[in-house]
């Protein structure tokens, strides 16, 4: 049963001064009524660059118990083709407005859902299917974790500096709505004071180099850092400045965070995250993480996820109520018959060579099976012989990269994650050369 009530949505829009969102919301409900959308299930694709329009369209579709797909408005032709192969829109909401375009053929639909794109590390497009209940469970689990540290969590604004079509951005909006709190968008306000803020490591590093931003971050209620691995030195630097920072672990499939740890000035090399209440984490014999939670997604696209404990691609070690993430099973490199986790090498390079942004990958090799390659971001190329010599003190020989590729800037997506597709293109070009 949909727990969303129209007057509550309107009241939240009014609280935030979201006049455009309220107008879009009202218009969308009227168009839906004219087309009798509320009487049947349809696929709605939200694909607008305007945050307020996004809220108006999304909350209207959710209120109407529709199947809502969150699509990146900046996708190119390749991504749009992938999207069209997955779902055909009955209702399209983009920067041009809302268009009602029921398919001539029978459209595939599922129960009321919010489908959020997740490419994983493979780059293959798929959508994690959530419901209002799974999103609410994620909000409540985070609130329980934070309650012992900040009982007044719902009394302060939430700051959104991430795209609403990603789980990290959408959940900030959803938390604010659930708590009936203010939501501040980065394009309307640059002040973090008194806010709960969600950032990715790339944003944090950039902000720490700006004295004005640092002063504002210090005045925030807390900063959630997720979306990608946060180097311990970066988290420690923020903590030393007096910023209340929470390093988080989660994924689109769990509606965001399911574990976190407060940052301290002297962060260890390997982080242990405290598992949130109501989250059941286990590991299988291969150290792959298994998740059971009310916030867990219902399946990818139109498929159903029926396992009691969903098996993720993340590798971890459990210690009572804490989880240490080792890397991803789908990123394991096998070189010379030995299994290697890229994350271990990346973190070692970051710590001992002072390179903040690195990506370890591999290319096929006739002798080794896979040859370990590292792409690193730096103004100038480093002395590779010196780097290898220094790493030998901390890594076994087969883990030391055999090839080093200098980049002025590594390729990132809008979530702050290094783009696996772009990395593969760089490696291909490097091999061809």
CB atoms within 10 A of CB 400: 19
Residues 298, 129 contacting (CB under 8 angstroms): yes
Give me the pLDDT at residue 154, please: 59
Which range, of 32-46, 191-205, 233-247, 374-388, averages the lowest pLDDT? 32-46
Name the pTM for this structure. 0.84
Listed in sequence order, the residues at least 6 apart from 272 whose beta carbon sits closer than 8 Å to its beta carbon are: 261, 319, 322, 323, 324
Beta-bridge mates of residue 372: 362
Distances (CA, A) of 417 to 203, 247, 258: 11, 15, 19
pLDDT at position 421, please?
A: 76
Q: What is the dihedral of CA 389, 390, 396, 401, to 10 degrees?
A: -70
Q: What is the pLDDT of residue 105?
A: 47
- Three-class SS of residue 432? helix
> What are the structural domains, with CATH classification, of the chain?
6-109 (3.40.120), 132-328 (3.40.50.12780), 332-432 (3.30.300.30)
- Average pLDDT across the chain, whole number: 88
More confident residue, 188 or 278: 278
pLDDT digits (tens, 9 = 90+) for 135-153: 999 999 999 998 766 665 5
pLDDT at 177 over 50: yes
- Nearest CA to 86 out of 102, 63, 98, 70 is that of 70
């Amino acid at each position: 049963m949909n727990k969303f009530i129209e007057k509550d949505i309107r009241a939240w829009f009014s609280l935030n001064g979201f006049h455009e969102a309220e107008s879009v919301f009202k218009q969308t409900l009227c168009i839906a009524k004219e087309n009798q959308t509320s009487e049947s299930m349809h696929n709605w694709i939200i694909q607008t660059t305007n945050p307020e329009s996004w809220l108006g369209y999304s909350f209207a579709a959710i209120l109407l118990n529709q199947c809502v797909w969150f699509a990146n408005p900046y996708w190119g032709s390749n991504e749009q083709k992938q999207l069209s192969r997955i779902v055909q829109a009955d209702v399209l909401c983009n920067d041009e407005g809302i268009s009602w375009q029921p398919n001539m053929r029978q459209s595939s639909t599922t129960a009321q859902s919010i489908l959020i794109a997740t490419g994983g590390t493979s780059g293959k497009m798929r959508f994690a299917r959530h419901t209002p209940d799974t999103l609410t469970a994620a909000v409540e689990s985070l609130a329980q974790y934070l309650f012992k540290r900040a009982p007044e969590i719902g009394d302060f604004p939430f700051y959104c500096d991430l795209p609403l079509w990603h789980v990290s951005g959408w959940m900030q909006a959803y938390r604010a709505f659930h708590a009936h709190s203010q939501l501040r968008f980065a394009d309307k306000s640059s002040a973090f004071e008194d806010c709960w803020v969600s950032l990715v490591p790339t944003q944090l590093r950039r902000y720490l180099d700006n004295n004005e931003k640092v002063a504002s971050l210090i005045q925030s209620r807390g900063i959630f850092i997720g979306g990608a691995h946060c180097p311990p030195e970066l988290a420690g630097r923020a903590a030393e400045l007096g910023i209340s920072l929470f390093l988080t672990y989660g994924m689109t499939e769990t509606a965001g965070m399911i574990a976190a740890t407060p940052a301290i000035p002297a962060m260890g090399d390997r982080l242990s995250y405290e598992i949130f209440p109501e989250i059941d984490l286990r590991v299988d014999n291969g150290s792959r993480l298994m998740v059971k939670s009310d916030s867990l997604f219902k399946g990818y696209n139109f498929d159903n996820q029926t396992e009691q404990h969903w098996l993720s691609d993340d590798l971890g070690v459990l210690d009572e109520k804490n989880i240490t993430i080792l890397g991803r099973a789908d990123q394991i490199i096998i070189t010379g018959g030995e299994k290697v986790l890229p994350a271990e090498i990346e973190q070692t390079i970051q710590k001992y060579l002072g390179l903040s942004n690195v990506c370890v990958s591999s290319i096929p090799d006739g002798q080794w099976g896979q040859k370990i390659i590292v792409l690193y971001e730096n103004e100038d190329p480093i002395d590779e012989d010196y780097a290898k010599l220094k790493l030998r003190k901390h890594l076994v020989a087969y883990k030391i990269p055999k090839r080093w590729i200098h980049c002025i800037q590594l390729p990132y997506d809008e979530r702050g994650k290094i783009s696996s597709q772009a990395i593969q293109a760089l490696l291909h070009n490097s091999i061809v050369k």
